[in-house]
């Protein structure tokens, strides 16, 4: 349904997306990456809002930038928090329906507002809505034309946990119903709940693609850097090296910074080793467990 | 799947959305006050002119040319037309009109019509009122109606295009109105031909017989060329919209 082939997008000297290729079929696919990774640029190119510097992007076999009709089969909830603020939610979604040529736009607007749990009779303008409500208005507008391809750029931002759960259920229902649902996120836990297929993008490059659980294993298997604070760093470091649960170590001033590719083994051994040596552990904490580090690892190992 | 939206429907929905966004209290009151100020100037000048009929007419046409066609018509048109698509481009709402199965020209025409709808009453009413208060006969009133309306149509199309071409279109537009139309065009007939004010002045000259600076073209040319400028600017705006990278 969606194919991206050797796509690069540059803004002057800055390369936002670099030689990315993937295909996406029906079902839900998460595009995971840190802020500034190129997710929104990729989505903009999918929708035809921006043209690639190199490569081709096709949605349902067509180029949304030049093909008017295919734009009617795409639903986009953009990341930016921009709405026609002087309209109420029903008017806003009704306009989305009319601009898509949906028959009976008013009924269609009421139906999708109901799906996203907003009151179609609320007279308040969307300018007075909370961030979460505005997100749901955008979702409703994206759904109103019953699109074949649904592109949702960080759609869960600003939603409370209950709304987030319900929206994830909705995305999964749409994916199960045969629609191609592309959802971007920079939050790993969100992606874990979204579904199985994941595209990881970092520094403008496709770092990994495939099943979420397999990817999660890859992420867990990567070398970890851990900082241990102890009263006898040298003895502890030597003992851990001897037991081969760490790959390298740097000792400085009561602190051991170590690398391990067997984080589980390290976790099991550190306390018994310390007890055996009679050294006091004051702190053990990962220093590269943030998502950025995970993405960097995935990019570098390619 | 819905297919491409029919042109009248696309124009109509764009028109409604843009009109709703354009009409803010601040804009309407601010520009309405300029119109009131212009009418007051007209009334004051009308009261003070104590000369012969021909001198009165000459002075009145000069006043209309100055306040209506160098200030009110271009500035009011600029504010609304530049904002029509320019604001949506800058605030990120253009995506809701761009990523739709609608032809680009329908979006441009809808936005232009919305800008014209707001600008016409805010320009034609005060300028015609000014012409009436100057009290020099119906020729000036008719000339003011025709020239104001044509001026709004042409300037609005030009400034819809400008809003799609540059950020801070109001600043660029004011630069064009003040520097090009106000200063450069006054120095030569060639420059005047690419200034809309040259054509509105020609309409005033043709209908009142009072020779104005820049007003040396025939009435037909004065009417046809602004219409062509409007069509040309709208075509270019549609091309620009099609090629635009939308945020």
Q: Which CATH number fits the domain that encloses residue A90?
A: 3.40.50.300
pLDDT exceeds cutoff 90 at B209: no
Whole-structure pTM value: 0.83
Residues of B in contact with A68 (CB under 8 A): 4, 101-103
pLDDT exceeds cutoff 80 at B18: yes
Measured between CA atoms, how close is A115 to chain B, in angstroms? Answer: 20
Across the A:B interface, residue pairs with CB atoms under 8 Å apart total: 87
Q: Which residues of chain A have pLDDT under 50?
A: none
Contact A99 B2 (CB under 8 A): no
Structure confidence by residue, pLDDT tens digits, B70-110? 889 999 999 999 999 999 999 999 999 999 999 999 999 99
Are residue A24 and residue A91 in the same domain, yes or no? yes
Measured between CA atoms, how close is A169 to chain B, in angstroms? Answer: 24
pLDDT of residue A216: 67
**How far, in Å, CA of A241 to CA of A234, rounded?**
11
Are residue A173 and residue A239 in the same domain, yes or no? no
Q: Give the whole-number percent of chain B exceeding pLDDT 70.
A: 94
pLDDT of residue A302: 58
Number of domains in chain A: 2
More confident call, A290 vs B8: B8
Of the pLDDT bands very low, low, confident and very high (cuts 50, 70, 90), residue B38 is confident
Contact B99 A49 (CB under 8 A): yes
> DSSP per residue over A177-239, as a string?
TT-EEEEEES-HHHHHHH-SEEEEEETTEEEEEEEHHHHHHHHHHS-EEEEEEES-HHHHHHH
Instruction: Report the chain A residue with the minimal C-alpha distance to residue B5.
Output: A101
Are residue A122 and residue A239 in the same domain, yes or no? no
- Cβ–Cβ contact A96 with B under 8 A: yes
Domain boundary among A187, A219, A251: A219
pLDDT of residue A185: 86
pLDDT of residue B219: 82
Mutate to test the interface with B, among A84, A144, A149 (most CBs of B within 10 A): A84
Are residue A22 and residue A127 in the same domain, yes or no? yes
Contact B245 A50 (CB under 8 A): yes
Domain boundary among A200, A219, A238: A219
- Cβ–Cβ contact A72 with B under 8 A: yes
Are residue A250 and residue A198 in the same domain, yes or no? no
Are residue A167 and residue A38 in the same domain, yes or no? yes
pLDDT of residue A250: 87
Are residue A58 and residue A144 in the same domain, yes or no? yes
pLDDT exceeds cutoff 60 at B151: yes
pLDDT of residue A221: 65
Residues of A in contact with B111 (CB under 8 A): none
Are residue A295 and residue A209 in the same domain, yes or no? no
Measured between CA atoms, how close is B32 to chain A, in angstroms? Answer: 21
More confident call, B50 vs A245: A245
Range of the domain at A271: 222-300
Q: In the block, which residue shows the tokens 């790993």? A: A188
**Listed ranges A162-176, A206-220, B7-21, B128-142; the one with the highest mean pLDDT:** B7-21
Alpha carbon distance, N-terminus to C-terminus of chain A: 26
CB B80: neighbour CB atoms within 10 A?
30
CB B170: neighbour CB atoms within 10 A?
17
DSSP character at residue A148: S
Mutate to test the interface with B, among A12, A80, A99, A108 (most CBs of B within 10 A): A99
Contact between B77 and B151 (Cβ < 8 Å): yes
pLDDT of residue A260: 86
Residue A57 parent element (H or E): strand A54-59
Residues of B in contact with A141 (CB under 8 A): 96
- Residue B206 backbone dihedrals phi, psi, to 5 degrees: -60, -40
Are residue A43 and residue A72 in the same domain, yes or no? yes
pLDDT of residue A211: 80
Are residue A48 and residue A9 in the same domain, yes or no? yes
Contact between A94 and A105 (Cβ < 8 Å): yes
Contact between A7 and A57 (Cβ < 8 Å): yes
Domain boundary among A219, A253, A280: A219
Query: Which residues between 99 and 128 in chain A have a beta carbon less than 8 angstroms from any beta carbon of chain B?
Result: 99-102
The pair of structure tokens assigned to B173 is: 């537009």
- Domain CATH for A240: 3.30.70.100
pLDDT exceeds cutoff 90 at B169: yes
Are residue A175 and residue A271 in the same domain, yes or no? no
Instruction: Report the chain A residue with the minimal C-alpha distance to residue B24.
Output: A86
Are residue A174 and residue A186 in the same domain, yes or no? yes
């Amino acid at each position: 349904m969606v194919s991206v082939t050797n796509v690069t997008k540059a803004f002057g000297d800055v390369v936002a997306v670099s030689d990315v290729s993937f295909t996406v079929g029906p079902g839900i696919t998460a595009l995971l990456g840190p802020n500034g990774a190129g997710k929104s640029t990729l989505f903009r190119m999918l929708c035809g809002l921006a043209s690639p510097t190199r490569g081709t992007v096709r949605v349902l076999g067509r180029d949304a930038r030049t093909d008017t009709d295919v734009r009617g089969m795409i639903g986009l909830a953009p990341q930016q928090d921009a709405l026609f603020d002087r309209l109420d939610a029903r008017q806003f979604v009704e306009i989305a329906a009319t601009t898509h040529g949906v028959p009976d736009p008013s009924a269609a607007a009421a139906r999708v507002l109901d799906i996203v749990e907003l009151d179609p009779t609320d007279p308040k303008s969307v300018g007075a809505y909370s961030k979460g409500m505005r997100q749901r208005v955008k979702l409703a507008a994206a759904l109103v034309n019953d699109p074949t391809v649904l592109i949702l750029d960080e759609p869960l931002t600003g939603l409370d946990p209950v709304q987030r759960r319900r929206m994830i259920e909705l995305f999964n229902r749409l994916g199960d119903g045969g629609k191609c649902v592309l959802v971007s996120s920079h939050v790993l836990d969100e992606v874990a709940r979204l579904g199985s297929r994941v595209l990881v993008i970092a520094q403008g490059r496709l770092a990994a693609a495939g099943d979420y659980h397999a990817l999660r294993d890859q992420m867990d298997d990567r070398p970890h850097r851990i900082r241990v604070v102890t009263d006898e760093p040298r003895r502890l470091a030597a003992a851990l090296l001897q037991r081969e649960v760490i790959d390298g170590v740097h000792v400085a001033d009561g602190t051991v910074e170590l690398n391990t590719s067997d984080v589980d083994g390290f976790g099991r051994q550190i306390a018994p080793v310390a007890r055996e040596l009679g050294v006091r552990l004051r702190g053990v904490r990962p220093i590269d467990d943030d998502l950025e580090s995970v993405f960097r690892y995935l990019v570098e190992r390619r | 799947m819905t297919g491409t939206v029919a042109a009248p429907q696309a124009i109509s929905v764009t028109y409604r959305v843009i009109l709703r966004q354009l009409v803010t209290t601040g804009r309407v009151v601010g520009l309405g006050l300029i119109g009131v100020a212009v009418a007051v100037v007209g009334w004051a000048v009308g009261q003070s002119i104590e000369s012969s009929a021909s001198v009165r007419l000459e002075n009145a046409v000069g006043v209309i040319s100055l306040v209506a066609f160098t200030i009110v018509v271009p500035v009011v048109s600029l504010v609304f037309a530049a904002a029509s698509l320019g604001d949506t481009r800058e605030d990120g709402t253009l995506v809701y009109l761009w990523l739709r199965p609608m032809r680009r020209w329908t979006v441009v025409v809808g936005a232009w019509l919305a800008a014209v709808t707001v600008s016409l009453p805010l320009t034609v009413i005060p300028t015609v009122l000014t012409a009436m208060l100057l009290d020099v006969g119906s020729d000036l009133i008719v000339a003011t109606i025709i020239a104001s309306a044509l001026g709004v149509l042409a300037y609005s199309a030009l400034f819809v295009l400008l809003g799609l071409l540059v950020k801070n279109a109001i600043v660029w537009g004011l630069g064009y109105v003040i520097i090009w139309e106000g200063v450069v065009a006054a120095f030569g007939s060639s420059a005047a031909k690419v200034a809309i004010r040259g054509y509105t002045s020609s309409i005033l000259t043709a209908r009142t017989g009072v020779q104005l600076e820049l007003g040396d073209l025939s009435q037909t040319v004065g009417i046809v060329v602004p219409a062509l400028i409007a069509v040309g600017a709208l075509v270019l705006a549609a091309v620009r919209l099609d090629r635009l990278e939308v945020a």
